[in-house]
Amino acid sequence: MKKFKYALLGFLFLLQSMTGQQKKPMTPQDLLSLNRLSILAVSPDENQILYKISSPDVITEKSETSFYLLDTKGNKIQRFNTDHKAIFQWDEQGLYADEDGKIYLSKDLGKTWLQLFDIKNADNFKVSPDGNSIAYSKNISLEKVLGKEKYPELKNATAQIYTDLDHRHWDTWKDGTYQHIFISTKNNKKEVEILADKKYDSPQKPFGGSEDFVWSKDSKSLFFVTKEKSGAEYAKSTNTDIFQYNLSTGELKNITKGMMGYDISPKLSPNGDYLAFLSMKRDRYEADKNDIIILNLKTNRKINLTQNWDESVTGDLIWTPDGKNILFTAAQGGTKNLYITSSSNPGVTKLLQGKFDCNDIISSTNGKIFFTRTDFNHTADLFSYSTSEKSVTQHTDINKEKYAALSPSNSELVMVKSTDGKDMGVWMIFPPNFDSNKKYPTLLYCQGGPQSALTQFFSYRWNMALMAAQGYIVVAPNRRGMPGWGTSWNESISKDWGGQPIRDYLSATDYAAKLPYVDASRMAAVGASYGGYSVFMLAGLHENRFKSFIAHDGIFDSRSWYLNTEELWFANWDLGSPFDKPLPKAYTDFNPISHIDKWNKPIMIVQGGKDFRVGFEQGQAAFQAAKLKGLKSKFVYFPDENHWVLKPQNSMVWQNEFFEWLKETL
């Protein structure tokens, strides 16, 4: 009997090896263990791309990192070894790296290194084209807000004292410091502080980096982004400008003066004669149409290359080597596509379209455009597009073995009629090995933003493929407010948060409920940020469409939220102020707390303690209200996370609690 058992096991093992590895649905552990690709630098001739692959470990919360070079001509990849891991630039001088503030140059691809600069407590480095100067940013103390600074004898005091707004931003309390750009040269060790004594940030906080400044071709000036506002005025405005600083004279010139919205991402043309940048027209509107502007630095003439295009450009923007065209990405029709525009004549041409997203345009050389690509099932990999053959080539497959063990989901974009007769694109994501003869529990996914695109993105938290892999159909509507369906569709959500966008969600829900493979008795609504707000609203308006809810960092009471959030330009534009007369609907009919009397289903609430966009009080209040109403409810609180959950082990807790709740309540 024992011999037969071992023979059977041996046969089964042989059968599995002959048929290939047994595939399984993705788990949260699988998701968080996936390798991640990051672009570091591109050679000046664009014939080589330096990138790294990070392999995360959830237990240690650390990553093993490997470096690689892709030869863009021969499509060959080789390992790149260096002790100087913080590589930040590759130009005609060579490869630059930072190690503890010491800036090194290598002219032989990392075999030998020469120290050029010694910069302490700085980051966001950029070396000038001639190699003689370096620009960098660091925090400078300009205000005393700490109690122990004001009262030196009270060294143990923890007080923070503020007299104006912008006292906290995103996840950080203001400590009296500002980000300023400095310039140092090889021959003169003295630092030049561009915005000395000015209470402005450059790069912009909280997310600005080296993309906020760029050298001129002749190394004689620096272009950089800043907002000439502080305090309450800063909190109410999006009016950033691009300035030009002359190294020899110290002259500071606002080259986008009179342009009232965001002006960001300056990119110099290959010949140095033009500056391209992204621009929004209106102050206080952070989701305004993003256009590409080019400025002739000799004549000061500006051209809007995308003014007649009915979509908005994302942050990906590069010049072609000949300076005749600009490549960029933008959402359109449920995916993020690759586009090109002429630098002399307005107009836009789409280069790629498919069931994927194009991201991070890296280079354009030898008739190829290199970029990263994702879809619901796949994290970023390197691809190229041949402009002559109109074909796409994949160059990396960093998770090939991991993907081989997983059963992928399938997705389909369907058009659903909204209550006002418009066509709305809705992504349907199906479980692996989907069987249309079965009925599946279904999740309505509510996107955040509120004006962020719902495309074939890959997320390490809100992952569509992972949700589907647990046996759920995911319904993801491109409701009002989503980029990629025209500027009117995108803008219509402002001042109407609880109106048509919520009806769009219900239209998608009702469409899905009629499908033969959807179990309409087992539907849940889930989402974060504006998606969390949407879940709170739907909990009071759903009329028993849903059996369960999950809301993450959502606004529960808009009145109290307005007096706690930090970026007031967003609140004023999208909701209006609770001090306005007449009182905006955002604080009456469109306020989730107004509908708490109709909450009747289980709800899980997730909240970050360091979230200053949507303060933790919002999640706490919603949980307490649900509990006092006698509803099955859960509060998952992350004291050390902001509007996102970023720490690996916290992410694992998030995923486990998410799916545990759905199993319990659906």
Judged against a pLDDT cut of 50, whether residue 11 lies above it is answered with: no
Average pLDDT over residues 559-579: 98
Q: Which helix (H) or strand (E) holds 649?
A: helix 648-665
Q: Is 529 noted as a catalytic residue in this protein? A: yes
Given the residues 529, 548, 558, 633, the one annotated as active site: 529
pLDDT band at 456 (very low <50, low <70, confident <90, very high): very high
Within 8 A by CB and 6+ apart from 121, the residues are 101, 138, 139
> Is the Cβ–Cβ distance between 106 and 114 less than 8 Å?
yes
Q: Hey, where are the domains in the chain?
A: 407-665
Q: Catalytic site residue 407? A: no
CATH match for 407-665 among 3.40.50.740, 3.30.200.20, 1.10.10.10, 3.40.50.1820: 3.40.50.1820
Reported as a single tens digit per residue, the pLDDT across 631-655 is 999 999 999 999 999 999 999 999 9
Identified catalytic residue from 360, 411, 643, 651: 643
pLDDT of residue 315: 77
* pLDDT tens digits along 334-350: 999 999 999 988 899 99
Cβ proximity of 565 and 530 under 8 Å? no
Cα angle: 530, vertex 638, 610; to 5 degrees: 70
The pLDDT assigned to 21 comes to 60
pLDDT at position 73: 87
Q: Residue type at 266?
A: P
Tell me what the pLDDT averaged over the chain comes to: 94
To the nearest 10 degrees (0 to 180), the angle between helices 500-513 and 530-541 is: 70
Q: For residue 623, what are the CA distances in angstroms to 233, 556, 607, 636, 651?
A: 34, 10, 10, 10, 21
572-595: average pLDDT: 98
Helix or strand holding residue 573 (H, E): helix 568-574
Residue of 384, 611, 633, 651 marked catalytic: 611
CA separation, residue 15 to residues 18, 407, 559 (Å): 5, 19, 64
Please give the helix or strand (H or E) that residue 68 lies within, else none.
Answer: strand 62-71
User: Does position 382 have pLDDT exceeding 80, yes or no?
Assistant: yes
Asked whether residue 9 carries a pLDDT value surpassing 70, the answer given is: no
Question: Cα 645–650–655 angle (5° rounding)?
Answer: 85
216 assigned to active site: no
Does residue 367 have a pLDDT over 70?
A: yes
Q: What is the pLDDT of residues 424-445, one digit of tens each?
A: 999 999 999 999 999 999 999 9
User: Using one digit for the tens of pLDDT, what is the confidence trace for 193-229?
Assistant: 999 999 999 999 999 999 999 999 999 999 999 999 9
DSSP string, 374-411: EETTEEEEEEEEETTTTEEEE---TTHHHHHTBPPPEE
In this predicted model, what pLDDT tens digit does every residue of 78-99 receive, in sequence order?
A: 999 888 778 999 999 999 999 9
**Over 50: is that where the pLDDT of 463 sits?**
yes
- H/E stretch holding 635: strand 633-638
Q: What is the pLDDT of residues 475-490, one digit of tens each?
A: 999 999 999 999 999 9
Q: How confident is the model at residue 15 (pLDDT cuts 50, 70, 90)?
A: very low
Residue with the larger pLDDT of the pair 73 and 291 = 291
Which residues are 330's β-sheet partners? Answer: 337
Neighbours of 224 (CB within 10 A): 24
Query: Where do runs of H (alpha helix) occur along 399-551?
Result: 400-404, 464-469, 487-491, 500-513, 530-541
Q: What percentage of residues in the chain have a pLDDT greater than 90?
A: 92
